[in-house]
Structure 1
Amino acid sequence: MARDAQPRQVGRPARISRDNIIDTVLEIGIDRATIAAVAECLAVDPSTLYGHIKNRDDMLGEAADRAIRQARWPQEAMTDWRTFLEAIADRLWELYCNNSGLAQHLRSMPIAPPALLSRSAQIVTTLVELFDIPLGEAALVVDSVGDSVIDSFIFISQLDSKTNPDGPTMRAGALASLHEAMEAGVDEQLADYITVLEEALGQDGVPGDYWKDKIALILDGLTYRLEKL
């Protein structure tokens, strides 16, 4: 006589998942997301996370990739390549503003996350196929625009920070140093340059348009190159 089938044991449902962890990292901010901080938000022991992630680098890398995949990107059906690349620059800036610590983390990674590589390849392909830009120039301008946006964002973020909670921002300190130099007396050439630097530094919490001027200069360079082809 056959044995009666034993009832299947149903285990306890998982309290967290890899998706939960990554979502929590993005809520906390990549720059503040430690194993302990994420575990506390999820109300689990830190050791529980290691059933879903390898380590903190794995966790942050996946969070960076997801942030990029979920970002709003401009429609590719634009009238000209310059408008398209300006829109890409704006979206990158928005991406870094909306994801605390993302820009700094991307700069620390030895290899860009898959989503960023894929998006960059798509942008290059658009420039080549829709706007007839040679592959070499397309790849170079996408790389240059990306580098300029992320480096400008990190620099401005540093200017908005404080060396101590009760002190001035780094921007305020930099502006004060420039004003002191002007008051001490400098030659006309240096004075003109200091004036430009003051405008570039902007105001606390307001990045200004200096970073956009850098993008414009890069795009002007591509225009010149294309005219020579």
Structure 2
Amino acid sequence: MPEPMYPPITAEEELMPVADPAGRRSAGRPPRVTREAIAEAALRLGPDRATLMTIGRALGVDHSTLYRHVKGRDDLMSAAVDRALDGVGWQRGAAEDWRAYLVRVSETVWDLYERYPGVAETIRALEATPPSVVHAFAAMCDELAGAGFSGSDAMLVVDSIMDMTNDSAVGWRRLAGASANGTTVAEAMRRSWEAEFAAEGTGNSVAAAMAGVIAGEPRHWWRRKLDLLLDGAAGLLARKSG
């Protein structure tokens, strides 16, 4: 059994006060468990397995200790999302036009969803939007406004791209899961598209094409959707400039 990353907190340390929300640290030894460490443990475990109990075991502390840093499961998941998005470059580079900027950021978010399965579902399920998502959305809108988009058009573009990316990540993850008949959901869905027209004794190019999409590479189909939205964004900008 691997050694815990953090040694168990002693009874004496359990009674020590911790830093208040304003960031002022009380006297005494600093706590060995931080909000960041809890968030990282949640990401390693994955949202499906991350609970206060499992994270407490992973960090080598009683789960009650975690309440010093997170208020409950929703706050725990919000911290995990913040940690996953930490370090993403939301500002547009000097050499980036608005389209290259949106492609880079969108690719980065897609990579994060692949690296941390369940984060896309978590963002959708939380009642309160994690602070990192709020700040990222605002930063992207500001960058598009600086590139010439109106405020409302910038919001529409960012919201559409982020919604589509989240929905696509959630959908493709579901397709990778097991179906009731022992195959993957993707395979069951692919067969249903093919069988619908086979039962009628006819072929259908759309059904065949969709079956190919379902069996294909998720990122490829998502990128085609992204390009479609970016073309639409270009149209919005052209109408504003015209």
Q: TM-score, normalised by structure 2?
A: 0.79
CA shift for structure 1 position 215: 1.2
1:96 is aligned to 2:109: no
- SS of the aligned residue for 2:68 comes to coil
CA shift for structure 1 position 15: 4.7
Q: TM-score, normalised by structure 1?
A: 0.83
Match of 1:201 among 190, 193, 214: 214
Provide the C-alpha distance between the structure 1 equivalents of 2:230 and 2:201, rounded to a whole number of angstroms: 34
1:52-71 matches, within 5 Å, as 52-71=69-88
Which structure 1 segments of 5+ residues have no match? 1-10
1:157 is aligned to 2:173: yes
1:167 is aligned to 2:178: no
1:66-95 deviations in whole A, cap 9, x for unaligned?
211234557522442112111121111011
Partner of 1:134: 150
- SS of the aligned residue for 1:167 comes to coil
Provide the C-alpha distance between the structure 2 equivalents of 1:94 and 1:208, rounded to a whole number of angstroms: 10
1:221 is aligned to 2:232: yes
The one-letter code of the counterpart of 1:182 is F
Answer yes or no: is the 8 Å Cα contact 1:78–1:84 preserved in 2. Answer: no
CA shift for structure 1 position 214: 1.2
Distance 1:74 1:207, change over 3 A: farther
Provide the C-alpha distance between the structure 2 equivalents of 1:48 and 1:223, rounded to a whole number of angstroms: 51
Provide the C-alpha distance between the structure 2 equivalents of 1:70 and 1:171, rounded to a whole number of angstroms: 33
Provide the C-alpha distance between the structure 1 equivalents of 2:89 and 2:55, rounded to a whole number of angstroms: 26
Distance 1:143 1:186, change over 3 A: farther
1:4-15 matches, within 5 Å, as 11-12=12-13, 14-15=31-32
CA shift for structure 1 position 186: 5.9
The one-letter code of the counterpart of 1:21 is I
Partner of 1:177: 192
Match of 2:101 among 76, 80, 84: 84
- SS of the aligned residue for 1:209 comes to helix
Partner of 1:110: 127
Which structure 2 segments of 5+ residues have no match? 1-11, 14-28
- Choose 1 or 2 for highest CA Rg: 1
The one-letter code of the counterpart of 1:101 is G
RCO comparison, higher one (Cα < 8 Å, 6+): 1
CA shift for structure 1 position 106: 0.2
Provide the C-alpha distance between the structure 2 equivalents of 1:18 and 1:80, rounded to a whole number of angstroms: 36
1:182-208 deviations in whole A, cap 9, x for unaligned?
3223666xx1221231132134xx315
Provide the C-alpha distance between the structure 2 equivalents of 1:169 and 1:186, rounded to a whole number of angstroms: 26
Provide the C-alpha distance between the structure 1 equivalents of 2:105 and 2:96, rounded to a whole number of angstroms: 14
1:35-65 deviations in whole A, cap 9, x for unaligned?
1111111222222322332211111111111
1:163-198 deviations in whole A, cap 9, x for unaligned?
36x92110011111122223223666xx12212311
How many residue pairs are counted as aligned between the two chains?
213
CA shift for structure 1 position 19: 2.9
Provide the C-alpha distance between the structure 1 equivalents of 2:35 and 2:99, rounded to a whole number of angstroms: 39
